Structure 1
Amino acid sequence: MSDTPFAVALELDADGARPAAPPVSAALSARRLAVRGAAAERFGFTAVTFDDSPLPVADAVARLDAVQRAAFLAPLTSAIGLVPVAHVAYSEPFHVATQLASLDWASNGRAGWIAAASGTAREAAAYGREALSGDHLRRAQEDVIEVARRLWDSWEDDAVIQDAASGRYLDADKLHYIDFEGESFSVKGPLITPRPPQGQLVVVAPAGTAGADVALVTGTDLAEITGAASRARAAGAPLVWAEVEVVLEARGVSATRRLETLGGWTDAGRVRYSGDANGLVALTAGLAASVDGVRLHVAELDVDLEEVGRAVLPALRERIGFRSPRAGETLRDALGLERSVSRYAATAVKEFA
């Protein structure tokens, strides 16, 4: 077991991961989101994540995107990390970086970002763009991550001076152009918001994505996860999380019975667990030997969230030293990631040393 804090994140979208659940982001209920977010924080999950679709969901009466849902929970929570999906294939990179920086300010440094890339022809048509696929889509995704990181660094930490005597709000010498030229777009910068509290938000992406802090790995058993984690680390990933689907024995009903009622498993290539809480504790402890955390996709949020929080997390504290985030910590703190200095400030120091 490493010194890196082990993370337990929870996917909070819709009603759960079961096939019969409403489509991603189809349900809009502020009260439901607030109750679930408060419960996840009270039980001590490291973070909650928010899935999203790059296009409106069919038959949805109303919809809030993932970043908006995370921002809604920001003032209602004080410790848990908030990690929304933001799609990058056709969105404007400058706007994505700005929205995420604003989320970090709203949450006092508890924001992350799942950098998703989907490049279907239907999505491209909706944005008036050409469809991206394969290596082109991967390069676009990595370019957007790089641009976001440069933009978050484009304000030095002490750029805002609020000098009433001189009438200056900021020191213009501490704002920097990023001058990015990529394959599909260029960005001049700087950002229109000050540097986020974390300096750099925690970037989460599928394993193999350059520039991510957390690599998400999939596999159907412990051996596959171990192999995927090893490859992700070899590719430079600082942290690795395993994706796990869960349905627990709950309220006197067996996991098998619940799974039958809920429509079976999804087809996502993830580790699947059904059974009692002790078995999930054992599986997670086994995974902790090769990964730095898990992201749980529970079958039914209104049932499994409570079961995991009540019976699994306390046992993980005893077995592997799991620690819940504390109020006042940033997400980077909770994950054991250092806060970086702006690359532009570091360059200036070298130039004038």
Structure 2
Amino acid sequence: MSLFLAVELDGAGAHPAAWRASGAAPAAVILPGPLREIVTAAEEGGFTLATFADSPVPPSIGVDIAGRLEAVGRAAFVSTTTSRIGLAPSVPTATTEPFHLAAQIASLDHASRGRAAWVVEGSDSAELATVGTDGPPGEAAEVVAVVRALWDSWEDDAVIKDVATGRYLDPDKVHHVDFVGSSFSVKGPLITPRPPQGQPVVLAADTLGVAADIALVSGQDRLRERADAARDTGAGLVFAEVEVVLDAHRPAASRLADLNRATPWTTRRTRYTGSAEGLVALLADLAGTFDGVRLHPAVLAVDLPLLVEQVLPALDIPARGDTLRASLGLVKPTNRFEGSTR
């Protein structure tokens, strides 16, 4: 059974103390060279999609506090150095203006020739404090709804470049979006033409209650039930979230214990600790419930090469297409304004 694989490529790895085992200076995570190398390794290894975490607050605390470049900028940079892998920055809905968010992801889709995606992020109290909002219930769903409408505000053939008449646009194919939500309002059209994919791929946790192309499921309870529920509510695909610590120069459990002594790693995601062969078996088992898995390597410098060399070759990963939607088997959506005069 085939399985799509995504990989999270933030910083030195998913573990908050990953920089201690990366073999590189801590500042390397904000340099262009290491970012380019890690994304290239993921692309050449066969991953369908790379994601880039982000937040308005630092990714770790205490002695492990670290900086990061914002996710859309990182994805835009590697869009020029890659050609096949999907690129999905995380953008929080409560701390980013929806109009600018729509323009950023649309621009990334143009820059990458149809490989952009967006990981929708809710916000916790510390993140919400940076913008002085309580994050009203349902706000994330409203942001996704208006972003999708803005992506459709230009029809695919709105740009006509008619030199004879001096018209760059066909105004009948550029549509206004007048959205009023519970805490914000947006007027369109977008300043960016419709993305090559029509709608860049939207990923979100199944608990967030948004219209996602890919629902992300964390935890170990009721997995099949939650996967079925996500599909019933409109998700085209459902991915499991799995943290990975692999046997390397020493056993994975020993590696994890050393990292946890520095900073405990606490999350809601499923965590696999062990051999590459055992991970292959786990992924094969998950393929019976999920369409894909997003892997979170504990230390990228250690775990990503093992994934590329020992795990991916043993899996049935679908071939990648010309766009991320094509790679995932998702059709390009029809523009909601097609044939409309408003």
TM-score (norm 2): 0.90
- Root-mean-square deviation (CA, aligned residues, Å) is 2.3
Give the residue type in structure 2 aligned to 1:216: L
Distance 1:228 1:339 in 2: 26
How many corresponding residue pairs? 331
> Larger deviation: 256-265 or 306-315?
256-265
Give the residue type in structure 2 aligned to 1:336: G
Contact 2:139 2:182 in 1 (8 A): yes
Contact 1:25 1:63 in 2 (8 A): no
- Deviations along 1:215-273, one digit per CA (max 9) or x if unpaired, are 110123xx63223212222333221100001111124x222222222227722122111
Q: Identity, % of aligned pairs?
A: 50
Contact 2:55 2:127 in 1 (8 A): no
Name the residue aligned to 1:254: 251
Name the residue aligned to 1:177: 176
The alpha-carbon distance between structure 1 residues 123 and 245, as it changes in their structure 2 partners (threshold 3 A), is closer
Distance 2:27 2:119 in 1: 16
Name the residue aligned to 1:323: 318
Name the residue aligned to 2:45: 43
Contact 1:45 1:324 in 2 (8 A): no
2:212 pairs with 1:212: yes
Give the residue type in structure 2 aligned to 1:131: D
Partner of 1:205: helix, strand, or coil?
strand
Distance 1:89 1:162 in 2: 37
Give the residue type in structure 1 aligned to 2:332: R
C-alpha displacement at 1:6, in angstroms? 2.5
Distance 2:231 2:266 in 1: 26
Give the residue type in structure 1 aligned to 2:133: E
C-alpha displacement at 1:55, in angstroms? 3.3
Distance 1:119 1:26 in 2: 28
2:296 pairs with 1:297: yes
Q: Which runs of 5+ in 2 are unaligned?
A: 21-25
C-alpha displacement at 1:206, in angstroms? 0.7
Select which of 107, 110, 115 maps to 1:110. 115
Contact 2:56 2:130 in 1 (8 A): no
Distance 1:273 1:11 in 2: 15
The alpha-carbon distance between structure 1 residues 305 and 56, as it changes in their structure 2 partners (threshold 3 A), is closer
2:117 pairs with 1:130: no
Distance 1:299 1:205 in 2: 21
Give the residue type in structure 2 aligned to 1:244: V
C-alpha displacement at 1:27, in angstroms? 3.4
Contact 1:9 1:46 in 2 (8 A): yes
Contact 2:213 2:234 in 1 (8 A): no
The alpha-carbon distance between structure 1 residues 88 and 44, as it changes in their structure 2 partners (threshold 3 A), is same
> Larger deviation: 234-243 or 29-38?
234-243
Name the residue aligned to 1:239: 237
2:4 pairs with 1:7: yes
Contact 1:38 1:77 in 2 (8 A): yes
Contact 2:212 2:234 in 1 (8 A): no
Distance 2:256 2:202 in 1: 33
Select which of 76, 79, 88 maps to 1:71. 76
Contact 1:254 1:275 in 2 (8 A): yes
Contact 2:84 2:320 in 1 (8 A): yes
C-alpha displacement at 1:124, in angstroms? 4.0
Distance 2:192 2:82 in 1: 23
> Larger deviation: 197-206 or 181-190?
181-190
- Deviations along 1:52-78, one digit per CA (max 9) or x if unpaired, are 112356797864200100001001000
Name the residue aligned to 1:225: 223
Matches within 5 A, 1:72-111: 72-111=77-116
Distance 1:270 1:93 in 2: 28
Give the residue type in structure 2 aligned to 1:105: H
The alpha-carbon distance between structure 1 residues 25 and 193, as it changes in their structure 2 partners (threshold 3 A), is farther
TM-score (norm 1): 0.88
Name the residue aligned to 1:288: 287
2:274 pairs with 1:275: yes
Distance 1:341 1:48 in 2: 26
Name the residue aligned to 1:140: 139
2:213 pairs with 1:194: no
Distance 2:112 2:172 in 1: 28
Contact 2:116 2:324 in 1 (8 A): yes
- Deviations along 1:170-218, one digit per CA (max 9) or x if unpaired, are 1111000011111111112000010000000100001042211111101
The alpha-carbon distance between structure 1 residues 145 and 25, as it changes in their structure 2 partners (threshold 3 A), is farther
Partner of 2:277: helix, strand, or coil?
helix
2:30 pairs with 1:33: no
Distance 1:323 1:210 in 2: 26
Contact 1:25 1:64 in 2 (8 A): no
Contact 1:9 1:45 in 2 (8 A): yes
The alpha-carbon distance between structure 1 residues 290 and 258, as it changes in their structure 2 partners (threshold 3 A), is same
Name the residue aligned to 2:337: 344
Contact 1:219 1:228 in 2 (8 A): no
Give the residue type in structure 2 aligned to 1:113: W
Give the residue type in structure 1 aligned to 2:294: R
